[in-house]
Structure 1
């Protein structure tokens, strides 16, 4: 079963890079991953249409708060509707913690 990484609350396009997807609340599955970790993901739109893309883990700071989200390598659409789900299509996510030890999921 795919692993839910986040449910989109807000999104915006970064010209030349892709689409940033931000959750309404903290996305706990992203917290242990290093910034810029590439992930194979599937984006599932509210109408159940889906697209597989590559994403990277990013942090966005706004009004003194930092939130983790995903930068999706989309050329379209121009935004993601709230409620769009992003799930991992990888069997295992691996990242190193501050001690250099891998986290396995």
Structure 2
């Protein structure tokens, strides 16, 4: 499934689950950026490795994680990427996305 289609279905699921409009708008803005990143890298389909490259490029995620310097907004970006991954794999949305240090 192409990334744009996957995100469209994910959005429909979040609406069905009664996510707040403010949350959906935050996701939409970030999804647009993620899609643009994928398109700039000639990727039409979701790939966890490309998504993690995006997260790391946006905020030096992995170095900041090791140094325990991540802000909540950067953790949300990571969670948003994991949400796409989980939805692609399982066709469902978990309400909590936790990052373990291991």
Q: Structure 1 or 2: larger strand share? A: 1
Q: Which has the higher contact order (CA 8 A, sep 6+)?
A: 1
TM-score, normalised via structure 2 length: 0.23
TM-score, normalised via structure 1 length: 0.22
Q: Structure 1 or 2: larger helix share? A: 2
